[in-house]
Structure 1
Amino acid sequence: MNAKKNNGFRAAFGNAFLGFDYAFRTERNLKIHFTVAVLVITAGALLKVSALEWAILMLTIGAVFVTEMINTAIEYTVDLASPEKHDLARKAKDVSAGAVLIIAASSVIIGLIIFLPKLIALF
């Protein structure tokens, strides 16, 4: 096995951007998360969230993106390691998808905690 190593800091960043670009172009759920993130950022700007609320929102958005991308990487790896149907392969994919579900549900709750009082105050 002759794996090619990164040729430095710049190459590592380049590979990371290529990975994000590929995931964004090919993964429907990542596009959905991106759309929701744009809506959340827009709502945050319009509703004038505090610096602490911005920090929480950015960490939450980042956690959703990271979890979705790790889920995608796990799915690719499982498909490579087990191209045939296998119960353990299905379980690995289901567990990683469950992680995305948990962070997505948590992000909705965080959004409600931050935005609901501001929206109620408008009406």
Structure 2
Amino acid sequence: MPKNTAVGPKRFWKSFWYAAQGIRQAFRTEQNMRVHSGFAVFVLLLAALFRVPPGDWLLLLLAITLVLAAELINTAIESVVDLVSPEVHPLAKAAKDTAAGAVFLTALFAVIAGIYVFYHPVMDWITAFMS
């Protein structure tokens, strides 16, 4: 018998519950998920402090979402690879390394987006502070 026999709206809402459990699991077990989340909170606090414009908020939120989503996908891939290939195997390594590369790529985008958003506000603040 299938695990989830709910239908209609009940099944729909249950899918949100499962997604939240997945995020919670990744946050509890993956150090990088906690690190990325901590940086996200820090960046959002800085954005509020520097009163960045709405379009820049959107860019920051996009970058944060991409990094966290990539980290969740990386965690899922690593879990499945560990399940099906507990021993070291070149293809298992390739899958894990490629998934980690996706996280790295999105994190690099987030850094570039952060530089774009914060460069002028930070330079203005430094200039005002030095005056």
- Classify the TM-score, shorter chain: over 0.9
Q: CA deviation at 1:106?
A: 1.1
Q: Which position in structure 1 is the counterpart of 2:66?
A: 63
Overall identity of the aligned pairs, in %: 42
Q: Secondary structure at the match of 2:111?
A: helix
Q: Secondary structure at the match of 1:4?
A: coil
1:1-123 maps to which residues of 2 (within 5 A)? 3-5=2-4, 7=6, 8-123=11-126
Cα distance change of structure 1 residues 106 and 90 upon mapping to structure 2, 3 Å threshold: same
Looking at structure 2, the residues matched to 24 and 3 of structure 1 have their Cα atoms a distance apart, in angstroms, of: 28
Residue identity matched to 1:48: R
Q: CA deviation at 1:3?
A: 4.8
Residue identity matched to 2:20: F
Residue identity matched to 1:59: L
Residue identity matched to 2:86: P
**RMSD of aligned alpha carbons:** 1.1
Per the normalisation by structure 1, the TM-score is: 0.95
Q: Which position in structure 1 is the counterpart of 2:129?
A: none
Per the normalisation by structure 2, the TM-score is: 0.89
Q: Secondary structure at the match of 2:52?
A: coil
Q: CA deviation at 1:5?
A: 3.0
4+ runs of 1 displaced by more than 3 Å? Answer: none
Cα distance change of structure 1 residues 6 and 14 upon mapping to structure 2, 3 Å threshold: farther
Cα distance change of structure 1 residues 12 and 94 upon mapping to structure 2, 3 Å threshold: same
Looking at structure 2, the residues matched to 6 and 40 of structure 1 have their Cα atoms a distance apart, in angstroms, of: 42
Cα distance per residue 1:62-93 (max 9 Å; x no partner): 10000000000000011111111110000000
Please list every run of 5 or more consecutive structure 1 residues that lacks an aligned counterpart in the other structure: none
Q: How many residues align?
A: 122
